[in-house]
Amino acid sequence: MGRADYEKLGVFYLGRELDPGAADLGPELLYDSRDLTTHAVCIGMTGSGKTGLCVSLLEEAALDGVPAIVVDPKGDLGNLLLTFPELQPADFEPWVDAGEAARKGQSVAEFAAVTAESWRKGLAEWDQDGERIKRLRAAAEFAIYTPGSEAGRPLSILRSFAAPDPAVIADATSLKERIGGSVAGLLGLLGVEADPVKSREHILLSSILDAAWRAGQSPDLAGLIGQVQKPPFDKVGVFDVESFFPAKERTELALRINGLLAAPGFGAWLTGDPLDMQRLLYTADGRPRVSIVSIAHLNDAERMFVVTLVANELVAWMRRQSGTTSLRAIFYMDEIAGYLPPVAIPPSKPPMLTLMKQARAFGIGVVLATQNPVDLDYKGLGNAGTWFIGRLQTERDQQRVIDGLLGTEAARGLDRGQLSTMMGNLAQRAFVMRNVHDDAPTLFRTRWAMSYLRGPLTLAEIRRLEQPRGEPKRAPGAAAAEAPAAAQGGPPPAAARTTGSAATRPIVQAGVTECFRESDRDGKPAYRAHVGARVRAHFVDAKAGLDAWETRYYLAPANGAAPDWSTAQVLEESAIRLRDTPEDGASFDEAPGALLAPRAYKGWATALADQVYRNSALQVFRCAALKRTSAPGGTEADFRVQLAQELRERRDAAIDELRGKYTKKVATIADRQRRAAQKVERERAQAQSETTSSILTVGGSVLGALFGGRRSGALTKASAAARRIGRVTKERADVGHAEADARALGEQEASLEAELKAEIAGLGTQFDPATIVVETVTVRPRKSDLAVEDIALVWSV
């Protein structure tokens, strides 16, 4: 059964098995995608084919609809975007090495033609072609992100230190790891080597982030500078802030952070897509994405900072997912040396160890590549279920790898001699695979990569490759400037209004709750009167399986004598921050008299409840085929991602069932074929024996008749000869029957193989995410459950 039969069945075509004593390659090496959830380590010297193997693995994952985060310290992995379905010389010409062409005495065009032909032949030798490349490009989007540079897609690493998910904040260990990694990375950028226990800088910044995140705030660098100068707390531990870290020295730290912010070119760190794992793993329409985070252009401190934040964000995203045994996503990092070392604890190490220990339960496979296992922490190695070992530089390196492998679960059943024999004299692109899920290690040669492996890409080449495909660039802070109120029919930003303001704060009667909305704008606020209230609504739809409570904050401008709820801003409860006192230096617009007295607020609450009941609705997405309904507030793309994962899990379960079903059938037929073959041989031997005996008997009777003897004896011999000839005929008939039985079993085997192929094809259709129908369900709130709470006069800018 060929690889094409398993193309959509959760197996990765990595190469062909290799027998050192045979001239030809063996069967295809098909790696079960679920095995990758126990993580993998790829080890090999420069030139061993390590990058080609890992690129092939990422290609196979993309074909199977599995997204990936790829951290690229060398610039090699941008080659994943160099895929040319037509395999024409013109496709390769912009990317071939002009220097290499010159060394070979060829023009660039000639060298490109030779390269294109080489790639076409290489793919054909491994049962691949341009159509498979076309399927790869259609299956997933490939993107190169360049934090700190606008050469590729810019990635806003430093726009804000975004508050993590509430589940992370509730987990003390997770929160400590997240804060520690973020602060250590920032201090690394500043050139401050900080001990988390002893460093005042580390402790102060950690305390500031802890306070901000617990309050649901996501400070940017400018806000962090302000809080360093004026911390939002009075004590650090048992010491007051001034004793622990005097103001003068805090100012020095603030100046260093400000220097980072003001450095030429630093604006590139603030532009582009936010560091959002969901967005990096999936496109807006729910297609899987392979996001290559290229850090080759950064210095060591910047690389460490980026890797730490990416790993922390992945851990936070992981903990929001449901558990699964199927592969959900891949985190791959090339040249891991220095980021997960055996002794030191750089900022990147804690989140990476967390991924190695916990990601399996969430279906995230971690793949780490290195030239030597001494680069990796032994705890990380111990959690790797698959080892790919390629050619190594020296005998000493080989023994180090064996030492590292023998200390892990993957070495179960192996010994040093067996490993030394298999690893001896490995050629380029030859690897030993030790998979904890297999009984024995496998020697194989990697397949030809579909991507053109031309080597590291420069920033100029990334710009040429990515920008025509990338999303439009946005100015720093553009996302923050988009007013969410406008999208919900709310009023324009305050900056667009012109109003007359009075410095005097109106006097409010007893019984009116008065609040002041916090503003992110600089300068003294100019308050306008609004009426705000919290509304709890209950959305129920038994058919859709929906039973959800939603809490929103409604903030309506006071147009005339009453709030206009039809133009109210509808905000997430956490998106509005209210205080009991106005900010210093604030001015106030005139307020309608009705807002200053309590008697009208009850009627306004009733009007708000009526407005919500008549005009609000909750949209969810429903997949009838899978009997699944999306969570409130999610997008259709997110829901389709969840459905795709569920289909992948169902497909994997169906594959297991199918394999079990046909394994028994194949074993039964194989046993019958073995017995049939034995019977054929037995009948042939008996027929041959009878033939020989009959020849001798007939010969004896003929000789007796010719050369005399008693007539009755000759007749007896002739009669015996005739009987033997009859038995020969019968034995030959038995041989024919046995051969017919064997042929029938062969036909049964062919029929079984055809049946299996048909069922495999059916699985591909049955579990194809593209065929799933998703409908939109609109649910109105239940009137009897509507609750309007905390209605108040709200002063807002």
Mean pLDDT of the chain: 83
Q: pLDDT over 70 for what percent of the chain?
A: 86
Q: Which two tokens stand for residue 775?
A: 């409908």
**How many other CB atoms are found less than 10 A from the CB of residue 612?**
25
Query: Three-class SS string for 263-311?
Result: CCCHHHHHCCEECCHHHHHECCCCCEEEEEEECCCCCHHHHHHHHHHHH
Determine the pLDDT at residue 739.
72
Cα separation of 260 and 224, whole Å?
Answer: 12
With DSSP H G I counted as helix, E B as strand and the rest as coil, what are the percentages for the chain, rounded to 5? Answer: 50, 15, 35
The torsion of the CA quartet 82, 88, 90, 95, rounded to 10 degrees, works out to 30
C-alpha span between 564 and 581 (Å, rounded): 25
Assign 375 a pLDDT band (cuts: 50, 70, 90): confident
Using 50, 70 and 90 to split pLDDT, how confident is the model at 475?
Answer: very low
Q: Give the sign of the dihedral formed by CA 311, CA 314, CA 316, CA 321.
A: negative
Spatial separation of the C-alpha atoms in residues 408 and 379, rounded to whole Å: 9
pLDDT at residue 691 above 90?
A: no
The pLDDT score that the predictor gives to residue 733 is 66
Would the pLDDT of 198 be above 80? Answer: yes
pLDDT bracket for residue 631 (50, 70, 90) = confident
Distance CA 40, CA 435 (A): 9
Structure confidence at residue 718 (pLDDT): 53
| pLDDT score for 694 | 57
Least confident range from 221-230, 492-501, 750-759, 782-791: namely 492-501
- Residue 356: HSE in the Cβ half-sphere, 13 Å Cα cutoff: 23
Quote the CA–CA distance of 474 and 684 in Å, as a whole number: 83
Q: Using the predicted structure, report yes or no on whether residue 498 has a pLDDT greater than 60.
A: no
- Spatial separation of the C-alpha atoms in residues 691 and 606, rounded to whole Å: 108
Q: Which residues pair with 787 in a beta bridge?
A: 536
In this prediction, residue 692 carries a pLDDT of 60
* Closest listed residue to residue 618, CA positions, set 627, 604, 630: 630
Contacts of residue 6, Cβ cutoff 8 Å, sequence gap at least 6: 13, 30, 760
What's the rounded Cα separation, in Å, for the pair 641 and 650?
A: 14
Residue 490 or residue 749, greater confidence:
749
pLDDT at 731 over 80: no
CA distance to 255, 258, 380, 714, per residue, from 179 (Å): 21, 20, 22, 110
Tell whether the model's pLDDT for residue 369 goes beyond 80: yes
Q: How confident is the model at residue 507 (pLDDT cuts 50, 70, 90)?
A: confident
Phi, psi of 413 (to 5 degrees): 85, 0
Residue 730's pLDDT band (cuts 50, 70, 90): low
d(CA 121, CA 448) in angstroms, rounded, equals 10
600 has pLDDT over 50: yes
Q: Which of 248-252, 717-721, 760-764 has the highest mean pLDDT?
A: 248-252
State the DSSP string of 20-58: TT-SS--SEEEEEGGGGGG-EEEE--TTSSHHHHHHHHH
- Grouping H, G, I as helix, E, B as strand and the rest as coil, residue 340 is coil
User: 516-548: per-residue pLDDT in tens?
Assistant: 998 777 778 899 999 999 999 999 988 888 888
Burial 65-77 (b: 16+ CB within 10 A, else e): bbbbbbbbbebbb
| pLDDT confidence of residue 260 | 84
Predicted confidence at residue 722, as pLDDT, reads: 55
E strands present in 456-525: 514-517
Is residue 706 predicted with pLDDT exceeding 70? no
CB 181 within 8 A of CB 329: no
Q: What length does the chain have?
A: 797
- The predicted structure's pLDDT at residue 467: 67
Query: Model confidence over 335-367: pLDDT tens digits?
Result: 998 999 988 888 899 999 999 999 999 999 999
Residue 605 has pLDDT above 70, yes or no: yes
pLDDT of 218: 82
Q: Dump the DSSP string for 236-272.
A: ETTEEHHHHS-HHHHHHHHHHHHHHHHSTTGGGGGSS
Amino acid, res. 487: A
For residue 488, the model assigns a pLDDT of 36
What pLDDT digit, counting tens, does each position of 394-415 carry?
888 888 888 878 777 766 777 7
pLDDT reading at 279 higher than 70: yes
Specify the pTM: 0.74
Share of the chain above pLDDT 90, in %: 42
Q: What pLDDT is stored for residue 695 in this prediction? A: 54
| Residue 390 predicted with pLDDT over 50 | yes
What local confidence, expressed as pLDDT, does residue 720 receive?
A: 57
Tell me which residue of 383, 382, 342 sits closest to 359, measured CA to CA: 383
In this prediction, residues 110-123 reach a mean pLDDT of: 96
- pLDDT value for 37: 95
In three-state secondary structure terms, 330 is strand
Can you tell me whether residue 368 is helix, strand or coil? strand
Work out the average pLDDT over 418-438. 87
Which of 48-62, 458-472, 732-746 comes out lowest in average pLDDT?
A: 732-746
Closest CA to 293 of 433, 402, 184, 146: 146
